[in-house]
Amino acid sequence: MSLALYAFLIPLVAIIAAPFVRGKGASYLSSIVFILSFIFILSDFITKSSFTLPLFNALEPIGKIYLLGDTISHAFGFTIAFVSAMVALYSYPYMKHRFEEMDLNPDVEFRKYWFLYNLYAASMLWLVYAGNLILLYIFLEISLIASFLLIYYYGYGNRVWVAILYFVWTNIAGVLALVGILLIGFENKTLALDSIAGVSMLAWTLIFIGMMVKLPGLGPHVWLPWAHAEAPTPVSALLSPLTVGLAAYILLRIYLIDPSFILTYRWEIFIYGVITSVVAGFGVFKQTDHKRLLAYSTISQMGYILIAFSLGTAGIVGVIIQYISHAFGKSILFMSAGAIIATYHGLRDLDKMSGLHEQVPTIANAALIGFMNLSGILTIGMIGEFFILKGLVDTYGLSLDTMLLVVFVFIISGLYSFYTMKRIYYGRVRDYEKAKVNRLLDTPLYLIGAISFLFILPPLATWFVDAILTFLGGGI
Amino acid sequence: MEFVIYSLLILAVSGALSMKNKYIGLAGALIASLLTAVNNPLLLMILVIAIINLASLDLMKGFLRGVDYTLVGLIFVATVYAFYSQSLAFLLGMFVVASVPTYMMVMASDTGMRVEVGIKYMTFMVIATVLFLIGAVLMVHASATSSLALYYIGFTMLIVGLAIEVGAGPFHEWVPDVFETADPIPISVIASIAKFVPFVVAFKIVSSTHMGDEVITLIGSILAVVSMLVGNIGALTSQKPARILAYSTVANMGYIIAALIVAVKEEFIYLAFAGAMLQLLTNSIGKIGFFIGIKEKAMPTVETYVLALSFIGLPPLMGFWSKLYILSSLVYANFIWVAVLLVLNSAMSVPYYVRLMKTFEGTKGYRKVAAYLITLTAVLMLLTVVPPNWIIESSKLLMSYLAIGGV
């Protein structure tokens, strides 16, 4: 019996029990549950243990439904568990503020909120342990519906319209992938990950297009800035770091079975990733809404993942680490944006911000850590960028043009990160009064920041990279 | 099969006596239904739907005074025999038997008769029945004499008749009006149990006679896609719950006609049949729940969510599995473009189901019986949390009754 299996099951406790706990207790309970999950998964990760647990035998074309926990699942799993735990802590003061703003009764609303929040976080955690493509799809849809309802109830602006926009786009993404999945089932007579022999081009194409909507690539990304900007901040802090990146996880699973599509269209995917990253990166400079700005930066970061996909084994390591670093960085940043919203009652307009470091130094410094993660300075993002570059050299040799493209992408991330820092936290100090930030609004940010620093130091870094490399069969 | 005579006799006698006491009609309908019930999970589910229908009739001051029970019982008996019969004449007979009771039901209401609705509905139904019957006979005849042109004419008549009968686009003229103006409870019967027979009969005829596959699948798939689109666009632009549900029926019928075109591929027909039947079950259960809600002008919130999400096709609710099986059968049979359009349509359908949720969210004032029935429908939607192998197995069992053997 592997520990990660418990990690898979204990979120159920949070889903069932948290709605019945009043006040801060629910927040701590949810957080503790996901912290436990995190510890279990990390210990499994370090000991390189994996598990499979058969659940049910469905008829063809679905085949064996089972749970699968291997190194890749663990790598995504501990990220999801840790970020969910921290955002759970942060949720309490933020949502309390939000409910008061909406004239709702916090006691009643928190019940709904905790149920949906924990379901949302847990469904993402379950998704990475699904051993059957249909099971994976089911968890994908559950996470979609939970996040949809959260936006629908508690979002900002025209929340109903935004929620439906989000639901329709991501649902199209999901079902396109589903048709691809069914094609796989038709070809292989099963959808169990361990018995799929090959994936045809048509199936791959459908899944890839679906996931390009979800990831998102440039073009189908229209839903993302809306959804991320208008969602309540704790939901943004899960949606942007964790959910959209799960598209990468799904692609990764298919890639590990049959990389044919990616290898065939390697150059196109690479260029598409570069274009996505650069265009969205330039888009960041133009934004005047704090959360919309972060949403564009998400699209830009997802371009990294596309680039990394096209770069062979080292690139795949890059995908995993990029997911983790983006999750840590972006959750910090969304929470910092939310902390300013909660502290200054809805302050999101960048034109009205500057020099906030004076008023809210703790948040400003946390945001700095977040941006360091994005631009790959002194945090786990650094390892990710290293592997992307390594994959680049492995794939294209020492070709100057590809190198320049990738370095250009990295530089843009750094540029917009620090330009945004300057716009919000430095420069002319405005006459906002010095506010007392609720401890729960800034402590979780530093905890995530601490983890992202720890991952570039031994022993964590060596364990971590070593485990992934062992799983992917070495060769680096 | 010999029980059919007894069931019909019981129904006739109890229907006649129910003028004295309406519960005699209920007892007769139950006995007749249980007599015909067979050991097959799918038919048991249909029996459950029939029983919910019977129970929901209690929510209206039926002017039919118990005959309505008999009529529902009659539709159920016809449904069971349509599944098991292999004679063309009998099948077409059952088609009529399942359709005629609804003519009377649609006119029933709390305050007397609604003749204008009845006339509209009946006109369309009669046209549908005539087209369907002639088409079916032509198809059987054409496949015996292998004359392709005649077969195409027959198939077109059959599919148009089917589309009018069940209310698929672009022949859905009557659906929104009737659904909106008639009493919700009879509509919940028309939208649920009466929908099975036409499709079962059509499945049997198409699968046992098919020739010229490319043309007929093209006709069928175009009709299916048009129906989905018309239904979804209509529902998106409607405001009243009854109208939304009417158009959602049109869209759902499109999905099922899409499954019907797979009937030309011997090896995947079981999957298409399973998908179509599960989609019909989903449609029936959801429509019953919602129409009871419309009757009461209120619904329990959680149940509303479950029903609407099941219609959207959210796993692991029933609506997901039905679409999944239809999709897999389409993918297997290589109708990828229909599958993709179906997918896009199911995404399009999200906003109006959300609107339905919003309409009924937090409403109060329903009667106890209605609340029980709606809760029951929601629970049925949750049956498929465990993947529904039973539907595939029943479908495989029923495959041996698909071939039509003479008249």
> According to the model, what pLDDT value does residue B5 have?
82
> According to the model, what pLDDT value does residue B385 have?
87
pLDDT digits (tens, 9 = 90+) for A51-60: 888 888 887 7
A176 interaction partners in chain B (CB closer than 8 Å): 340, 343
Q: Do A171 and B340 lie within an 8 Å CB cutoff?
A: no
Pick among A60, A65, A105, A141 to test the B interface (most B CBs inside 10 A): A141
In chain B, the residue whose alpha carbon lies closest to the alpha carbon of A206 is: B340
Is residue A376 within 8 Å of residue A308, measured between CB atoms? Answer: no
* A197–chain B nearest CA distance, Å: 17
Q: Which of A163, A179, A185 sits opposite B343 (nearest CB)?
A: A179
pLDDT digits (tens, 9 = 90+) for A179-224: 899 889 888 988 999 889 889 999 999 999 999 999 999 989 999 9
User: Cβ contacts of residue A139 below 8 Å, gap of 6+?
Assistant: A123, A124, A126, A127, A130
> According to the model, what pLDDT value does residue B387 have?
85
Q: Do B350 and A171 lie within an 8 Å CB cutoff?
A: yes
* Owner of token pair 């799904």: A250
B315 interaction partners in chain A (CB closer than 8 Å): 137-138, 141-142
> According to the model, what pLDDT value does residue A4 have?
79
Beta bridge partners of A67: A53, A130
Pick among A182, A204, A214 to test the B interface (most B CBs inside 10 A): A182
A175 interaction partners in chain B (CB closer than 8 Å): 343-344, 346-347
What is the Cα gyration radius of chain A?
21
> According to the model, what pLDDT value does residue A79 have?
94
User: Cβ contacts of residue A69 below 8 Å, gap of 6+?
Assistant: A2, A4, A5, A8, A44, A50, A51, A52, A77, A129
Is residue B233 within 8 Å of residue B226, measured between CB atoms? Answer: no
- Which pLDDT band, with edges at 50, 70 and 90, does A474 fall under? low
Secondary structure (H, E, C), B148-197 = HHHHHHHHHHHHHHHHHHHCCCCCCCHHHHHHHHCCHHHHHHHCCHHHHH
A164 interaction partners in chain B (CB closer than 8 Å): 350-351, 354
pLDDT digits (tens, 9 = 90+) for A383-416: 999 999 999 998 888 889 999 999 999 999 999 9
Of the listed ranges A53-57, A327-331, A349-353, B97-101, the least confidently predicted one is A53-57
- Which pLDDT band, with edges at 50, 70 and 90, does A475 fall under? low
User: Cβ contacts of residue B342 below 8 Å, gap of 6+?
Assistant: B228, B255, B258, B323, B326, B327, B330
> According to the model, what pLDDT value does residue B63 have?
62
Whether A1 has a pLDDT exceeding 80, the answer reads: no
B340 interaction partners in chain A (CB closer than 8 Å): 176, 179, 206
pLDDT digits (tens, 9 = 90+) for A286-317: 999 999 999 999 999 999 999 999 998 899 99
> According to the model, what pLDDT value does residue B205 have?
94
pTM for this model (two decimals): 0.86
Q: Do A145 and B331 lie within an 8 Å CB cutoff?
A: no
In chain B, the residue whose alpha carbon lies closest to the alpha carbon of A145 is: B314
Among left, alpha and beta (phi > 0; psi -120 to 50; other), residue A172 is alpha
- Per-residue pLDDT in tens (0 to 9) along chain B, 407 residues: 667 788 888 998 998 888 888 888 889 999 988 888 778 899 999 999 999 999 998 888 766 678 889 999 999 999 999 999 899 999 999 999 999 999 988 888 887 778 888 899 999 999 999 999 999 999 999 998 999 999 999 999 999 999 999 999 899 989 999 999 999 999 999 999 999 999 999 999 999 988 888 899 999 999 999 999 999 999 999 989 999 999 999 999 999 999 999 999 888 999 999 999 999 999 999 999 999 999 999 999 889 999 999 998 888 899 999 999 999 999 989 898 999 899 888 888 888 998 898 889 888 889 999 999 999 999 999 998 888 889 999 999 999 999 887 54
> According to the model, what pLDDT value does residue B358 have?
85
Q: Do A141 and B339 lie within an 8 Å CB cutoff?
A: no
- Which pLDDT band, with edges at 50, 70 and 90, does A31 fall under? very high
Q: Which of A59, A152, A171 sits opposite B392 (nearest CB)?
A: A59
- Which pLDDT band, with edges at 50, 70 and 90, does A38 fall under? very high
User: What's the mean per-residue pLDDT of chain A?
Assistant: 91
Kindly list the residues of chain B whose beta carbon comes within 8 Å of any beta carbon in chain A. 309, 312, 314-316, 320, 324, 327-328, 331-332, 336, 339-340, 343-344, 346-348, 350-351, 354, 358, 386-387, 389, 392-393
> According to the model, what pLDDT value does residue B1 have?
61
Q: Do A171 and B324 lie within an 8 Å CB cutoff?
A: no
